[in-house]
Amino acid sequence: MNHQQFIALHGETDDTEFQCKCCGRELNTRTMVWFEKATNGDLAAKPGLIAADQSQGWFTYGAACSRKVLLKKGVAA
């Protein structure tokens, strides 16, 4: 999901700077995306795809890396 959707769902974050979980690059909140990560490494772009007891939380990715990691993990967005 994008940052606006994340805030609508989870509320404002205190963080003002975000880094890509994949490459560490500093991210623009307008283009970055949020993925939920499961304990087995799977990533999901929508809430509800990963069981609450298997979720490690939500992480930010850059646009290019988001496509790369989702392809790698093969998780339905």
**Span near Zn ion by CB under 5 A; candidates 6-14, 16-24, 33-41, 51-59:** 16-24
Among residues 72, 65, 63, which one has the least CA distance to residue 3?
A: 63
Contact call for residue 27 and Zn ion (CB under 5 A) = no
Answer for the pair 36, 43: CB distance below 8 angstroms, yes or no.
Answer: yes
Spatial neighbors of 39 by CB under 8 A, at least 6 apart, are: 54, 55, 56
**Span near Zn ion by CB under 5 A; candidates 13-21, 28-36, 38-46, 50-58:** 13-21
- Distance of closest approach, residue 53 Cβ to Zn ion, in angstroms: 28
Which residues of the shown chain bind Zn ion in the complex (CB under 5 A)?
A: 20, 22-23, 62, 65
